[in-house]
C-alpha cells in the first residue's frame, strides 16, 4: 500500500487541510471493509480504478468523482482489487468557497462533481488521471481550486465563521451554540443558518463530531488512558454520554472502536 500526503499552498491553506493519495492492490478474491466515520471535514475524492462499494443501503458512491459533505453517522466501504484514489480534504468550512451551492445540500451525501461544476469536472478528471506523479496531481488540483476560489470568495461571511471555528477548535468542541452565535454578533437563527451554509451541518451536530474526533485524538496520544478518564477529559457528561455518541457516530462503543479501529483523528491531525 502506498499512501502520500501533501499540504496546500499558503493561498489555499485557510480552505484546504491536505491532499492525499492511495495506491493499493488486494490479491484476487480478497476484500477489505473500511468503516467511515464523521471527520468534520468535507472531501472531494477521485477514484481512477474501481471505486469501492458501500455495504448495506445507508449510502452509495454513485460516480468515480464525488464530493462528500458533512456526515451524520458511519458507513462501511468494501474494497477489492486495485484501488487508486486522490483526495482533496477541505477545512470544515473550506468547501463552501469553491462551489456555487450551500454545502448543507451535501449533508450526509456523496454527490458527483459533475452535478456541481458541470463544465469543469471532465477536464479536471482527465488532467488528474493523466498526471504521472502525486505532486503533479496536487498541482492540477491547486490550479483548479485557485480558479474557483477567485470566483466564489466571500471574505466577510467566511471570516465570521472562521472565528467561530477557531473557538470550537480551541475548546475541542466544548462550547455552546449560544456562545458561538454571540461571538459572531448574529441572532441564534441567523448564526445557525450561516453556519450550516458554510460548514454543511448544524452547530450542534458539528460540535458532537468535534468532541468525538477529540476523543480519538486523545486516545491516539494517550494509549493507556481509561475510558472513564477519556470521557472526563473530552467533556462528556459521563461515560454513558460518550458511549451514546460513539455508537451513533461510529456504530461501536468506545471499547469496541478502540479494539477494532485505529484511534486516529483526521480533524485534529
pLDDT digit string, tens, across residues 120-129: 999 999 999 9
State yes or no: pLDDT of 52 exceeds 90. no
Strands (E), 11-162: 16-25, 31-36, 43-47, 53-55, 65-68, 75-80, 82-90, 110-112
Do 220 and 137 have their domain in common? no
pLDDT tens across 106-158, in order? Answer: 999 999 999 999 889 999 999 999 999 999 999 999 999 999 887 666 677 78
Whole-angstrom distance, CA of residue 213 vs CA of residue 17: 15
How is the beta sheet containing 53-55 ordered, strand by strand? 31-36, 75-80, 53-55
Highest mean pLDDT among 76-80, 206-210, 259-263: 206-210
pLDDT at 30 over 90: no
**pLDDT recorded at residue 232:** 95
CB 3 within 8 A of CB 21: yes
Q: Which of 152, 183, 204 marks a domain boundary?
A: 152
Whether 216 and 127 map to the same domain: the answer is no
What confidence tens digit (pLDDT) does each residue in 227-267 have?
999 999 999 999 999 999 999 999 999 999 999 999 999 99
Q: What is the CATH number of the domain that holds 175?
A: 1.10.10.60
Please tell me whether residues 161 and 102 are part of one structural domain. no
Per-residue pLDDT for 27 more than 80? no
Average pLDDT over residues 194-199: 94
235 and 135 co-located in one domain: no
Would you say 221 and 209 are in contact if contact means Cβ atoms under 8 Å apart?
A: no
Containing structural domain, residue 119 = 2-152
Q: What's residue 2's pLDDT?
A: 86
Q: What is the average per-residue pLDDT within 48-62?
A: 82
The tally of domains found in the chain comes to 2
Mean pLDDT (the chain) is 92
Could you tell me if 247 and 239 are in contact, meaning their C-beta atoms sit under 8 angstroms apart?
Answer: no
User: Which CATH number fits the domain that encloses residue 95?
Assistant: 2.60.120
| Same-domain check for residues 70 and 125 | yes
Assign 109 to helix, strand or coil.
Answer: coil
- C-beta separation of 148 from 98 below 8 A: yes
| Whole-number pLDDT of residue 22 | 92
Write the DSSP symbol of residue 105.
Answer: G
Whole-prediction pTM: 0.93
| Domain closes at, from 107, 132, 152 | 152
**What distance lies between CA 11 and its chain's CA centroid?**
20
For residues 111 and 177, membership in a common domain is answered with no
Q: Per-residue pLDDT for 28 more than 80?
A: no
Say how far apart CA 76 and CA 52 lie, in whole Å.
10
**Domain C-terminal end among 122, 152, 182:** 152
93 lies in the same domain as 123: yes
122, 214: one domain? no
End-to-end CA distance of the chain: 21
Residues 189 and 87 in one domain: no
pLDDT tens digits for range 154-191? 677 788 899 999 999 999 999 999 999 998 888 999 99
Indicate if 102 and 224 belong to the same structural domain: no
One domain, residues 187 and 71: no
Q: Are residues 90 and 192 located together in one domain of the fold?
A: no
Q: What is the pLDDT of residue 153?
A: 65
Residue 59: how many other CB atoms lie within 10 Å: 19
Q: What angle do CA 169, 88, 58 make, to 5 degrees?
A: 85
pLDDT at 139: 98
How is residue 84 written as a grid cell?
487508486
Amino acid at each position: 500500500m502506498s499512501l502520500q500526503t501533501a499540504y496546500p499552498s499558503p493561498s489555499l491553506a485557510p480552505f484546504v487541510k491536505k491532499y492525499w493519495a492511495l495506491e493499493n492492490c488486494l490479491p484476487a478474491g480478497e476484500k477489505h471493509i473500511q468503516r467511515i466515520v464523521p471527520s468534520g471535514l468535507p472531501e472531494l475524492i477521485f477514484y481512477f480504478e474501481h471505486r469501492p462499494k458501500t455495504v448495506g443501503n445507508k449510502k452509495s458512491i454513485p460516480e468515480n468523482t464525488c464530493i462528500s459533505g458533512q456526515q451524520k453517522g458511519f458507513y462501511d466501504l468494501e474494497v477489492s482489487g486495485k484501488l487508486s484514489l486522490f483526495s482533496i480534504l477541505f477545512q470544515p468550512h473550506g468547501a463552501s468557497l469553491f462551489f456555487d451551492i450551500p454545502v448543507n445540500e451535501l449533508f450526509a451525501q456523496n454527490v458527483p462533481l459533475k452535478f456541481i461544476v458541470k463544465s469543469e469536472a471532465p477536464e479536471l478528471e482527465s488532467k488528474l488521471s493523466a498526471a504521472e506523479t502525486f505532486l503533479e496531481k496536487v498541482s492540477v488540483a491547486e490550479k483548479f481550486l485557485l480558479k474557483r476560489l477567485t470566483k466564489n470568495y466571500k471574505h466577510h461571511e467566511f471570516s465570521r465563521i472562521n472565528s467561530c471555528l477557531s473557538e470550537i477548535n480551541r475548546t475541542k468542541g466544548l462550547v455552546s451554540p449560544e456562545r458561538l452565535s454571540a461571538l459572531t454578533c448574529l441572532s441564534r437563527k441567523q448564526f445557525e443558518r450561516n453556519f450550516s451554509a458554510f460548514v454543511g451541518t448544524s452547530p450542534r451536530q458539528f460540535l458532537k463530531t468535534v468532541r468525538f474526533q477529540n476523543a480519538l485524538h486523545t486516545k491516539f496520544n494517550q494509549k493507556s488512558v481509561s475510558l472513564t478518564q477519556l470521557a472526563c477529559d473530552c467533556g462528556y457528561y459521563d461515560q454513558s454520554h460518550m458511549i451514546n455518541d460513539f455508537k451513533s457516530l461510529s456504530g461501536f462503543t468506545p471499547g469496541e472502536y478502540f479494539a477494532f479501529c485505529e484511534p486516529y483523528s483526521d480533524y485534529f491531525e
